[in-house]
Structures are given as C-alpha cells and as structure tokens.
Chains A and B, each alone.
Chain A
Amino acid sequence: MYDLGKIIPGLIVFVGLVSFPIWYNGGDAGAIPKPEKPVLAKECVADIQYMRTTHMQLLMAWRDDIVREGGARTWATARSTEYNRSLQSGCMKCHTSKKKFCDTCHEYAAVTPYCWDCHIAPQETK
C-alpha cells in the first residue's frame, strides 16, 4: 500500500472529527426529556408506549379520515373514555401546554413538525 503514512493519520483525524459530538459530551445522551403529563386525564387515547413511538402516524390517520373521508370526530378508548379525534381540540385539551409537552421531546430529538404553522397551540399559562 502506498502512502500509509498519510492515510492512517488521515483516517484517525477523520474518525475523530466525525465522532466529535459523542466524545465531547463524554458519551452522555443529555438529560432525558420529561414531558409534563396531564393531571386530570386518567388515560390517553392509546397505550403510552404506542403513543410515544407512533403518535405521528395516529395523527395522520385521524387527519386523512376526518378531512378526506368525513370520518367520525369523536371516538372512545377501550375503557370507553370519549375523546375528540383532533390535535387542536382533542390532544391539546388534556395536554394543555405545547411547551411542556410537545416541545420537550421534539427539541431533544431535533425534529420540527409543522403542525403549528396552521394549527393553533393553546395559550401558555404564566
């Protein structure tokens, strides 16, 4: 192999630069976000773990069903809690703060969903 003296140090520098965020933070993933849970509501529209991983697909399914198919606006959970299949007037009626609920995880995961470009977030108290 030619130029081993250049390639090996070059590779070491490259790997070092690419992995910079990992070793700079000492392998720490940062503080795990703790979204504020609603005080009054007993259960969510689906299982918590499902909501954590799949809430975006659920919201899209609601959207397509209601906007395009004229689907039912209210639904009930397995424990027959009625809820409104709506972000603005469903989810946000229990999760009353976008800052303390949505944003905590979304900021941590560095995702910027465009829900709130159109939908109106509830007024933040204080």
Chain B
Amino acid sequence: MDAKRRDFLKMAGLSALAGLTAPAAVHMLVNKGPFQANAATAAPVGEAGEGGHEAAPATGVRLGMVIDIKKFGENQELARQCIEACHSIHNVPDYGNAKDEIKWIWTEDYEHAFTDQSQYKRNTTLHELPIMTLCNHCDNPPCVRACPTQATFKSKKTGAVLMDYHRCIGCRFCMAACPYGARSFNWRDPRGKDAKGQPFIKHLNADFPTRTRGVVEKCNFCAERLAVGKQPACVEACGDTGALVFGDLNDPSSPISKVLAENFTIQRNAALGTKPSLFYII
C-alpha cells in the first residue's frame, strides 16, 4: 500500500469530526431546527411551593387525621389516655430517660410543634396547651427517600408511612430526614429491664411484636388494627369527644373531609413540602 502518513492523518481527522458531529446533526434533522426539543424536555417548575392545603390527588386512599387542640385543652387527661392506649398496644418501651425515649404519639408545646409559626405576641393560653403529635404520614415523606433498605415505605393501599422492622438496619437516616421528630431509635433492648429490675415494657401485648435493639420505630397509623376493621388506638381512646377525627382525605364525603371543610386548620411546617396528613384545629 502506498498510503502516505499525511493522507492517513487527514482521513483520521475527518472521520473523528464526522463521528463527533453526526449525533447532533441527526438530532437537528429529526427535530427540525437546532435544539428546539430542549425546551419541551425541561423539568416543570413551580412545585416547590406546594405542601400546604394543596388539592389532594383524586385517586386512592390517603389516611389523615384532624387534631382539635381545644378539645385536648378542655380535657387534659385525654392526651395521656391516647398515649397510654397507643404505647401499651404497640409494646412501646419506656426507658425512663429522655435521651432514649421511644414515642409513637406524644405531646409537644406549641412553640416546638409549630416551629414555622411566629411566636411573637402569641397568646399565653395556647402556649400552655398540650399539642398532640404523632407521625404526620406525609404524602411526600422524606424518611422514605432517606431509607437505604426501603424498610420505611408508603403504603399503596392507605397512603400511610409504614415500617418493615425486619428490614431496618438502624442507620437512623430516617430520623435525620424527619422534620417532625416522629421517629425513635432503640438504643437499648426493649425487652430488657432497668436497674431496679423493672421491664421496659410494663405489660406485654401478646398480639403485637416488640422491636429489637438497633431498630427505629414510629407510629404506623394502627395498620394492624385497621386491617381488622378497628379504629386507631388513639382515636378509640378519644371516643366521641371529636378531639381526633380519622379518615380518608381523598373521600369528599368522609367525616374528616367535612371537618376540614368547616374548620380552619394548620399543618406542622407545611412549607417544607412534605405534605403532612395531620391537620390541627387551633
């Protein structure tokens, strides 16, 4: 062959140029004109501001709860009864110190429950009211996104944020991700005993499992009770006081939808865009 080095380099250069530009040229031909397609494929913007009282998607069940702060203020025992009912049914251990505390449902003061609200000139009675708080069962749950094992997930059937304790590896990413402090980690063995020999779980409920050391736990919206046609334990504990209203947010004829339509409610830190399913009547 009589190919000269000079010719070879020319051909190689042209081939490289053709190879680099061909995809762009084909793209232009297909879409009729340079880079028109880009505008259409750009991500839609403007979703960041949602998360307050946004319109609920029409399909599927989304369980939610309305918490009437005034009712809990009138009957201060009510909150304690709710906590007692929930924690005894779900074998929630009491480690006896705040650092290790496990809580599925608990009371918070107004200032710490509603951190996004201005506390300036807030009336004093509100400050003294116990604010019933539990997992918000967000429609856009940050804990689910953080979980590396999908141990926590959103139920397809109810929209509740649930946990599969079999899968939890105790990395606590979900605790860091949850802006509501609704998740607790078992630093100690829930079946163990304290220094005085008292078990951490006072009365073991044989119908529900415990957890182990090294597992995160939280409110499950009583998935195990709903499955057998019962109301959540806290709702049952409130009876007909109307302090807690539980139901499907997507069903316009459900009692909770009526309560929401008739009352002014707020959500905890809705501006974060987590879309909480808990609503507070203040």
A residues bordering B, Cβ < 8 Å?
63, 66-70, 73, 88-89, 114, 117-120, 122-123
In the assembled complex, the Cα of A106 lies from the Cα of B213 at a distance in Å of 23
Interchain CB contact under 8 A, A120 and B227: no
CB-based nearest A residue for B227: A73
The residue that A88 contacts in the complex, of B155, B158, B206, with Cβ under 8 A, is: B206
Interchain CB contact under 8 A, A67 and B209: no
CB-based nearest B residue for A117: B212
Query: Which residues of the other chain, A, contact B54 by a CB distance below 8 angstroms?
Result: none
CB-based nearest A residue for B220: A67
CB-based nearest B residue for A87: B209
CB-based nearest B residue for A88: B209
Does B207 count as interface, using CB distance less than 8 angstroms? yes
Does B166 count as interface, using CB distance less than 8 angstroms? yes
Interchain CB contact under 8 A, A120 and B204: yes
In the assembled complex, the Cα of A119 lies from the Cα of B162 at a distance in Å of 18
CB-based nearest A residue for B228: A73
The residue that A69 contacts in the complex, of B156, B207, B228, with Cβ under 8 A, is: B156
With both chains docked as a complex, state the minimum distance between the C-beta of A122 and any C-beta of chain B, in angstroms: 7
Known: A70-B157, A70-B227. A118 touches B206 (CB 8 A): no
Interface SS of chain A:
helix
Query: Which residues of the other chain, A, contact B155 by a CB distance below 8 angstroms?
Result: 70
With both chains docked as a complex, state the minimum distance between the C-beta of B83 and any C-beta of chain A, in angstroms: 22
Does B211 count as interface, using CB distance less than 8 angstroms? yes
With both chains docked as a complex, state the minimum distance between the C-beta of A124 and any C-beta of chain B, in angstroms: 13
Known: A88-B206, A89-B207. A118 touches B165 (CB 8 A): yes
In the assembled complex, the Cα of A120 lies from the Cα of B156 at a distance in Å of 28
With both chains docked as a complex, state the minimum distance between the C-beta of B77 and any C-beta of chain A, in angstroms: 30
CB-based nearest A residue for B213: A117
List 29 A-B residue pairs with CB atoms under 8 Å apart, sorted by A's residue number: A63-B166, A66-B227, A67-B164, A67-B166, A68-B153, A68-B164, A69-B156, A69-B157, A70-B156, A70-B157, A70-B158, A70-B223, A70-B227, A88-B206, A88-B209, A89-B207, A114-B212, A117-B212, A118-B165, A118-B209, A118-B210, A118-B211, A118-B212, A119-B209, A120-B204, A120-B206, A120-B208, A120-B209, A123-B206
In chain B, positions 181-222 with a C-beta closer than 8 Å to chain A are 204, 206-212
With both chains docked as a complex, state the minimum distance between the C-beta of A61 and any C-beta of chain B, in angstroms: 13
CB-based nearest B residue for A70: B157
In chain B, positions 151-189 with a C-beta closer than 8 Å to chain A are 153, 155-158, 162, 164-166
Interchain CB contact under 8 A, B153 and A88: no
Query: Which residues of the other chain, A, contact B162 by a CB distance below 8 angstroms?
Result: 67
Q: Which of A67, A114, A122 has the most CB of B within 10 A?
A: A67
Q: Which 4 A-B pairs have the closest CB atoms?
A: A70-B157, A118-B209, A117-B212, A119-B209
In the assembled complex, the Cα of A53 lies from the Cα of B164 at a distance in Å of 25
Query: Which residues of the other chain, A, contact B165 by a CB distance below 8 angstroms?
Result: 118
Query: Which residues of the other chain, A, contact B209 by a CB distance below 8 angstroms?
Result: 88, 118-120
With both chains docked as a complex, state the minimum distance between the C-beta of A52 and any C-beta of chain B, in angstroms: 23
In the assembled complex, the Cα of A29 lies from the Cα of B209 at a distance in Å of 36
With both chains docked as a complex, state the minimum distance between the C-beta of B163 and any C-beta of chain A, in angstroms: 9
In the assembled complex, the Cα of A119 lies from the Cα of B207 at a distance in Å of 9
CB-based nearest A residue for B163: A67
